[in-house]
């Protein structure tokens, strides 16, 4: 029995671990947004990791954008979002929910996706180790209601797994969980 437990733990560490938590509002079916705008994510990574990975928030937001596009969701083009942010002198980093909703209205999105990166790094802890963790939520621009909110983490004990690769894997898992709960767009 001990060998089985030890082998299971070793397998989990080698293959990688991840966790998805998803809440879907009962209001989503009635509001059913057609176009989403993924806004710049906030980076709450440890200060030293923010210095090592200044692109973490952009990488995770891009991974989520790719995951959504693969499923058929309609997204506002990032260039259009950047144009609006520039036009109004808004930072291309994390936006408050209120400002995000205003930007969403300006680009004709039905909902905006705001997110936070909590962890993004690659280190050497008993070997090579990579991890990424983030949360994302969709807010309906007309009502201000949260349509869904999810958190995702992904870790791997293999030197080949850069945090950007883990971000792509984690984003796909988050979107898969959303689709499992609400169906295709």
For the chain, 185 residues long, give each residue's pLDDT as a single digit of tens: 444 333 333 334 444 466 888 999 999 988 989 999 999 999 998 877 888 888 999 999 999 999 999 988 899 998 999 898 888 887 766 678 998 999 999 999 999 999 999 999 887 655 577 889 999 999 999 999 999 999 999 888 765 678 888 999 999 999 999 999 888 77
Q: 20 Cβ partners below 8 Å, 6+ apart?
A: 150, 151, 152, 173, 174, 177
pLDDT at 92: 67
pLDDT at 13: 40
Q: 36 Cβ partners below 8 Å, 6+ apart?
A: 68, 73, 74, 75, 76, 109, 110, 111, 112, 113, 138
**DSSP strand E in the chain: where?**
17-24, 35-38, 42-43, 74-75, 111-124, 128-140, 146-156
pLDDT at 94: 66
pLDDT at 18: 66
Question: Are 147 and 181 in contact, with CB atoms under 8 Å apart?
Answer: no
Cα maximum dimension of the chain: 63
pLDDT tens by residue, 103-137: 999 999 999 999 999 999 887 655 577 889 999 99
The whole-angstrom separation of Cα 127 and Cα 58 is 27
Instruction: Please tell me the class of the 16-182 domain.
Output: alpha beta
- Domain edges within the chain: 16-182
**Residue at token pair 């609400």:** 182
Structure tokens at 73: 């969701």
């Amino acid at each position: 029995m001990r060998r089985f437990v030890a082998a299971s733990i070793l397998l989990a560490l080698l293959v990688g671990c991840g966790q998805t938590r998803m809440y879907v509002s009962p209001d989503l079916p009635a509001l059913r947004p057609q176009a989403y705008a993924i806004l710049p994510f906030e980076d709450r990574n440890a200060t030293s990791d923010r210095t090592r990975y200044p692109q973490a928030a952009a990488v995770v937001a891009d991974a989520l954008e790719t995951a959504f596009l693969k499923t058929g969701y309609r997204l506002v083009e990032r260039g259009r979002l950047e144009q609006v942010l520039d036009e109004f002198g808004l930072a291309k980093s994390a936006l408050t929910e209120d400002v995000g909703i205003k930007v969403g209205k300006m680009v004709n999105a039905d909902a905006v996706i705001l997110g936070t990166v909590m962890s993004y790094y690659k280190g050497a802890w008993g070997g090579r180790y990579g991890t990424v963790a983030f949360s994302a939520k969709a807010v309906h621009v007309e009502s201000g209601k949260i349509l869904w909110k999810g958190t995702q983490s992904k870790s791997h004990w293999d030197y080949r797994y850069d945090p950007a690769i883990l971000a792509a894997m984690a984003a796909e898992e988050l979107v898969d969980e959303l689709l499992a709960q609400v169906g295709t767009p």
